Each structure stands twice: as structure tokens, then as C-alpha cells.
Amino acid sequence: MDSTSHAPLTLRRTALMLLRMLAISLGAVALWVGIITATDLLLGAEMSLAKHVANAIGIFATAVPLTLILARHVDGVPRAALGLGSVHSAFRTLLLGAVAWLLPAAAGLGVAVSSGWLEIRAGSSVWEVAGATLLLIALVFTFEAFPEELLFRGYIQGRLRMALSPWWSVVAQALLFAVWGTSFWVVGAGWSVLVERAALFFVMGLTLGAIRLMTRSLWATIGFHVAFQVCMQLVLGGRYAVVEVSSEWVFTLATALVAFCASPAIIALIRLAQRNRSGSQQTGAK
């Protein structure tokens, strides 16, 4: 009798949780589109540096506080449960996420170039590329990586974990991330990007969700997100430095696809090595 009455209640709560997270994801679409529309009206449709900075500040200043308000004051989720952890470990874990992107992406890029499948030509000096990279790190962190990771891998995945198993919460937030990202792109670029963007955001959401689950840290997903977006925007964006590739598709497959597939395994290996080293040091100390 008790088990029969509890099952529908659990299913109902899970369904309500998913619907609530879907509504929040769609609300995030409205927020992102609203900020970008406002900067279009104020600064023009062309993506200048001033507009890029305005978008970054606008999103960071609205999405981050709203997410924290939802988490802390509506749901009572503590800061630690969002995966932010301590400031002491933040930078080290952020680097772990970045390395998990950079290692497989560099390997894939090396294979593509050495095999003759891809050519890379730099039209800017080393110093210009370095300056553009630093600028993009700041803009990507503010505009994309921190707000998106806080909302989806911090708040939404954390809330879904209360109703679903760990890996199902990863899949569910990846679906919601795909809904958010695809809707955002369809509004701006039309229905022609639907399939491409849905696949990209879902796979990216799965990878980032897995990293969040494995490391228990939002900083690892932020580091991965920053490394991915900076690489893509530096080479394919062509805004702040000139770096040309012979095939955008080959470049994307050699870096993004390889990194999305390999990074969870790299995270697991690095963490295993860290645990083994820590265990060896403790044994030696005894």
C-alpha cells in the first residue's frame, strides 16, 4: 500500500522538477536574447569589441545574481552544493578542466596537420595572437563560461540530482542545455542551424556534466568551457587576430569532437594519478 502510494508521488515530483528546470532554461533564453537585443539597439548589430564587452557585462550582471538567488533563496542550495568550493582549490581545478580540453585538442590538431588534412596560417604576429587570447579568456569567462556553467552544471544539474540518479541528471541537464543553446541560435540565425546546434550543445552538455560529476567542482567545467570557446573563437571567429585554417570542419572535428570524447577519460586518469600520489605521500609520511 505504502510503496504503491509513494511511486506516483515520486514520479510526479520528478516531472514537476523537470518542467520547472525547462521553464528556467527557456527563461534563460529570453534573458540572453534580451541582453543581446538591447546591445544591438544601443551599439549596432555588428559585433564590435565594445558590443562584446557590453554583452559580457550584461549577461554576467544579470544571469549570475539571478541564478544565485534561485539557488540560495528559493531552493536553499548552499554555495558548496553549486560546485564552487573554496577559493584555494578553484584555480587548480579550473586548470584541470582546461588541460582536459587542451591535451586531446592539441593531439587531434597535431594529427590533422601532420597528415595534411589541415593547414593553419597565422596572419597576425605572435604578440597579437597572445593579446587576443588573453582578451578572449576574459570575455569568454564573463559572457559564456561562468554564467552558463553556474546555471546548468551548478544549479540545474544540482537540483536534478535530487530527483534523478547521478548519470540521469547529467543526461537531463544536457537535454536542457541543448534546448537553451539551440533556441538561442534559432532565434538569431534561423531554423537552418537547428540540427547542428542541437547536436553540439547536447554533446557539450554531456561532457561538461560528466566532468562536473567526476570532479564535483564547477571550476573544472568552467576551465574546460573557457579553453574550448577561446580556441574556437580565436581561430574561427577572426575578430581579434587573424588565424586561418584550410577547413573549419576538419579543425572542429580534430579539436572539439576529439576533446569532447576524450576529456572525461583524461580527467579520470589525472585524478587517479593525484590520488595515487597522495596515497604514496601519506604512506611515506608514516
Total-model pTM: 0.92
Hey, where are the domains in the chain? 2-277
Of 128, 207, 209, 103, the C-alpha closest to 164 is: 209
The answer to whether residues 27 and 180 touch, using CB atoms and an 8 Å cutoff, is no
E-state strands within 212-270 = 243-245
- Render 47-76 in DSSP notation, one character per residue: --HHHHHHHHHHHHHHHHHHHHHIIIIIS-
pLDDT of the residue at 149: 98
Contacts 24+ apart (CB under 8 A), 160-165: 160/17, 160/18, 160/21, 162/17, 163/13, 163/14, 163/17, 163/18, 164/14
Instruction: Name the residue with cell 540530482.
Output: 161
Span 171-194, average pLDDT: 94
Q: Distance between CA atoms of 154 and 161, rounded to whole angstroms?
A: 11
Q: Please check whether residue 86 is in contact with residue 205, taking contact to mean a CB–CB distance below 8 angstroms.
A: no
Average pLDDT value over all residues in the chain: 91
Mean pLDDT along residues 5-26: 81
Q: List the single range of 25-39, 138-152, 270-284 with lowest mean pLDDT.
A: 270-284
Q: What pLDDT was estimated at residue 4?
A: 42
pLDDT per residue as tens digits for the range 115-131: 999 999 999 999 999 99
pLDDT band at 1 (very low <50, low <70, confident <90, very high): very low
The per-residue pLDDT for range 60-96, each reduced to its tens digit, is: 999 999 999 999 888 887 777 899 887 778 899 999 9
Q: What are phi and psi of 100, to 5 degrees?
A: -65, -25
Buried b (16+ CB within 10 A) or exposed e, 141-176: bbbbbbbbbbbbbbbbbbbbbebbeeeebbbbbbbb
Of 41, 46, 73, the C-alpha closest to 58 is 41
